Structure 1
């Protein structure tokens, strides 16, 4: 009975995390379209505030151990690389893709990332992908084709810029997944993520003037901004980490594929985004790649 209860809790936590993440993309689109908020400014503050909250949480939980990653030169260099080319890059490209298209399309395109992970390891270990990996690649390409062309070879239904940044978001997501594996063997995922967010936000702030606040600020802007920081970053991450011990990383990762579906549904219901049959078919094909790759991956190979 206890095991069943823990499993149920884990499933609810993982699904909630995925839904919260999916909705946060729509919140960003709302701020871009209706409140004239700049994507770079939003990324900067999201990273800094969410990072500060995560680091504070780790400091409360583990004390001085939170700063262990700063004491080893090799780990610090890896953290800086991950902060810039992983955390900052994936956040910036994703939000900019939303700005140029919509939250649903940007989120679905980002979920092509696992296919780039498969490709990387195939090249690294000099082996051909297995049948299920080939199938996932085919579904990813077919899904992307339907999503960005609606089956018409001669034109894109989204801008070239949106497609470009969406693919960059997928590539940087793959890097985000692969690169910190060695760090995760030494330090907690919450610590690495918190520091990477904070560092990435501070680095971006050097090129911006984040203290200059533009756009339309009212009660709804503040509420949506707060959602992005809390329910789009801190809370779902903690939910996901809490779900893993209860249901395993493999199942938790699979359930997170609900994120683009949640983003698409919310975009249609809340923001009035037009999502055609071809869009839904493309989304289904891309999501199927996550299912295939998750079941084809041994649990011990799954990393947070």
Structure 2
């Protein structure tokens, strides 16, 4: 074998090894991101139940702090380009709607659902978002979903039914308030996913998300000022809030973006479905939550829906 053939073989081996390393790294990042998002819900439940903080205040401080951090990261990479998003009235309108109805909406409904139930249940029901998106796209495009997609939607609805009733239609396992807020979080998640499409086509993920968080947090701070603190505020409260901001928001979002670049959005979204699983497991070990067979069955059915839709739609 001549030297050129050896070089080509070495280059081929290097590319294969690099591709393998990227796959492993991307998979780990997606799994870690999902797990940290699950941890975020657990921390929020702790703050509501043990420290009597309000969802309004926690969401406000989380969005403003995380938004500023993400924009700082974006500025370090893009410099003044992060401000170009404000040069078009259309972009500004989309960004404000995304920040208030999307970013704040999904955070607030999710946290209130946690307050009235628990992190595991709220997280699982929120994962109805992909089914809602599918229904919306079908209505928008005036086309019927495929049999597999329809099966996935029905499966997710049955999953919520099992999770909420434990197959006893006369008794709800969670309160009506918790169910309504969790369903609201699912609709907010769908809006949050669909709305920034035009923005993401023109600006980076970190830039759009950072501005969305900051705008959503600042606007709501006029309703619930971040200096208006209620509940028990001690060293443990501060520590958990830092975990929510850094480990529950900034880090998972950042590595999720990296994961999509390494293994693609489809695989990343599949691996990140570990979020409701991690939320359930962490709730059991950290908050002594009782999670029975029906809870696991309903959770599995909803996660199966997400997996089916992700595999069926490479978008």
- Could you say which TM-score interval applies, normalised by the shorter chain? over 0.9
Counterpart in the other structure of 1:111: 127
Counterpart in the other structure of 2:41: 25
Task: Tell me the TM-score normalized by structure 2.
Answer: 0.94
Q: Unpaired segments of 5 or more residues in structure 2?
A: 1-16
Counterpart in the other structure of 1:141: 157
Counterpart in the other structure of 1:242: 258
Which of 240, 244, 251 is the aligned partner of 1:228?
A: 244
* Pair 1:132-2:148 in alignment: yes
Counterpart in the other structure of 1:101: 117
SS of 1:217 mapped into structure 2: coil
2:312 and 2:66 map into 1 onto residues whose CA distance is 33
1:100 and 1:218 map into 2 onto residues whose CA distance is 23
CA RMSD of superposed structures (Å): 0.8
Which of 252, 256, 277 is the aligned partner of 1:261?
A: 277
SS of 1:207 mapped into structure 2: coil
Deviation of 1:209 (Å): 2.4
2:234 and 2:62 map into 1 onto residues whose CA distance is 18
Deviation readout 1:81-100 (Å, 9 max, x if unpaired): 11111111110000000000
Counterpart in the other structure of 1:273: 289
1:135 and 1:273 map into 2 onto residues whose CA distance is 31
Deviation of 1:215 (Å): 1.7
Counterpart in the other structure of 2:24: 8
The within-5 A match list for 1:36-185 is: 36-185=52-201
Deviation readout 1:109-138 (Å, 9 max, x if unpaired): 100110000000000011111011111111
SS of 2:142 mapped into structure 1: coil
Deviation of 1:218 (Å): 2.3
2:18 and 2:85 map into 1 onto residues whose CA distance is 36
Which of 198, 211, 216 is the aligned partner of 1:195?
A: 211
Please say which structure displays the higher CA radius of gyration. Answer: 2
Q: Which runs of 4+ in 1 moved over 2 A?
A: none
Equivalent residue pairs, number: 299
